[in-house]
Amino acid sequence: MKKIDYTVLKDYPLKVFAYKKHGRSLKWWTKWKKYHSQRFLPGILLIAVTAISVLIANSNFKGVYDEIFHHINLVGNFNLHAIVNDFLMAIFFLYVGLEIKKEILEGSLSSFKKASFPVIASLGGVIVPAIIFMIINRNTKYLPGVGVAISTDIAFAIGIFMIFKSKLNSNLKIFLLSLAVVDDLISILAIVFLYSAKINMRAMLISAAILLILMTINKVFKVDNVYVYLFVGLFLWYFVYSSGIHATISGVLLAATIPSRKTKGEESTADRLEHRLGKLSNLLILPLFAFANTSIALNLNVNVTDASNLVMGIMCGLVIGKPLGVVSFSFIATKLHIAEKPEKASWISITEVALLTGIGFTMSIFVSELAFSYDENVINLAKISILTASMTSVIFTQIALYLKHSFVGVKIKSLIGLMRVKY
């Protein structure tokens, strides 16, 4: 009998099953690990969970869904929907904050030369769609939703990039990741300044004091135990929530205080926590967020004529505004010698990647919940627009790649052939 190496099962949750099934289970697990390592799974999960949520919202199970997520208080006045959006998303923003911190300290944002191109591109990807949305909705009640059209979903965009990676310029993966990170940072600031409720100054001052304590623990006492920071971070979350500033910001603030010191031969506390939160965020929190926030009823009670501005603003902002802003701002920056285009990257390949920035999904849905909290029908319409825009961006990317590798590719090959014959 062929000997099987069971060492690959060290983190397999169902070892007994694998022992019984032997080769087949091992083969399945190996493939799963491969896909997971390439970040396919988060994007696939988001799509699958969203589809299930929409189906439930338009079925006889809608009442059960609403009862579970909205009508049962699990902790105090917090129902499951509030726990997901206010607490679990704070953990996700902790993960995002750690990614941003890592990029600033040692990654693609660690120097002006490295950061200038994706930062300027990201600014364009925020300013242009914001202008488009505001022009379309200038005389409507939907103007506060400007933050919906400026956000790129990291997990979804990178997941789609990996699906198309054989046709996309692989050198631009870091560019897309850096751009999405800066984009998230801007979206976080938008949440703070545009969508926070009336500020409770007492709670805000207590939050500031807790933040100072966390910084002291890090810089003065040199504490590297992550559980100390997470414990104090719970108090930070509570008082940020009480202050009227959206509670998810506490995750970003906490991330800034986590030690990035590296001991010889070991990862820093921030790196270890980022790795632990990666799977939790991508495989649990984001799918659960999608499931809790995409239960869109298709029988909307909204004035279609009036709401068309909202739909057009979100669609045009994400699908057209995002890539237009990314490409135009980065092009101008290179011509002015403010930024430097990535090596081995053409403007065509940058445009292809820029099309993916129209995938708003998680962050856009999150902002729509804050911007239109006064009307569930408007929230649902905004979500439909976001999902449609995200899918349209993926389709446009596919079309662009097809045209490039079929029509353009054939033309170039033909031209090269004619030149060889002539000369």
Q: Contact, 302 vs 378, CB < 8 A? A: yes
User: Which amino acid, one-letter code, is at 85?
Assistant: N
Domain assignment of residue 382, yes or no: yes
What gap in Å lies between CA 11 and CA 23, rounded to an integer?
17
272 in any annotated domain = yes
What is the pLDDT, as a whole number, of residue 42? 75
Query: Is residue 349 scored above 50 in pLDDT?
Result: yes
Question: 42-65: per-residue pLDDT in tens?
Answer: 777 888 898 999 999 999 999 999
Is 50 exceeded by the pLDDT of residue 38? no
Rounded Cα distance, 65 and 63, in Å: 5
Q: Which of 81-95, 378-392, 394-408 has the lowest mean pLDDT?
A: 394-408
Query: By C-alpha distance, which of 383, 295, 266 is closest to 80?
Result: 295
Task: Indicate whether 380 belongs to any domain.
Answer: yes
Task: Calculate the average pLDDT of the chain.
Answer: 84
Neighbours of 126 (CB within 10 A): 25
Binned at pLDDT 50, 70 and 90, residue 16 comes out as very low
3-class secondary structure, 73: strand
Q: Is there a domain that residue 18 lies in?
A: no
Name the pLDDT band for 99 (thresholds 50, 70, 90).
confident
Sign of torsion over alpha carbons 409, 410, 413, 416: negative
**Which residue carries 């919940």 as its tokens?**
369
Quote the radius of gyration of the chain (alpha carbons, Å): 23
In a domain, 235, yes or no: no
Range of the domain at 88: 39-152+168-196+246-422
Q: Is residue 29 part of a domain?
A: no
**343 within some domain:** yes
Note the pLDDT of residue 183: 86
CATH of residue 129: 1.20.1530.10
Asked if 109 and 118 count as a contact pair (C-beta separation under 8 A), the reply is: yes
Least Cα distance to 120 among 416, 409, 335, 370 occurs for 335
What is the CA 25 to chain-centroid distance, rounded?
32
Between CA 286 and CA 166 the distance in angstroms is 26
Q: How far is CA 379 from CA 72, 319, 366, 383, in A?
A: 21, 19, 10, 6
pLDDT band at 302 (very low <50, low <70, confident <90, very high): low
Best CA proximity match to 325, nearest among 182, 213, 164, 174: 182
pLDDT digits (tens, 9 = 90+) for 216-226: 999 999 999 99
356-369 pLDDT per residue, tens: 999 988 889 999 99
Nearest to 408 by CA among 329, 346, 328: 346
User: Which of the listed ranges 143-157, 207-221, 286-300 does the model predict with the highest average pLDDT?
Assistant: 207-221
Tally the domains of the chain.
Answer: 1
Confidence band of 25 (pLDDT split at 50, 70, 90): low
Residue 397 located in a structural domain: yes
pLDDT tens-digit profile of 234-268?
Answer: 999 999 999 988 888 899 899 999 999 987 778 89
Could you read off the pLDDT of 65-85 as tens digits, one per residue?
Answer: 999 999 999 888 899 999 999
Label residue 414 by pLDDT band (50, 70, 90): low
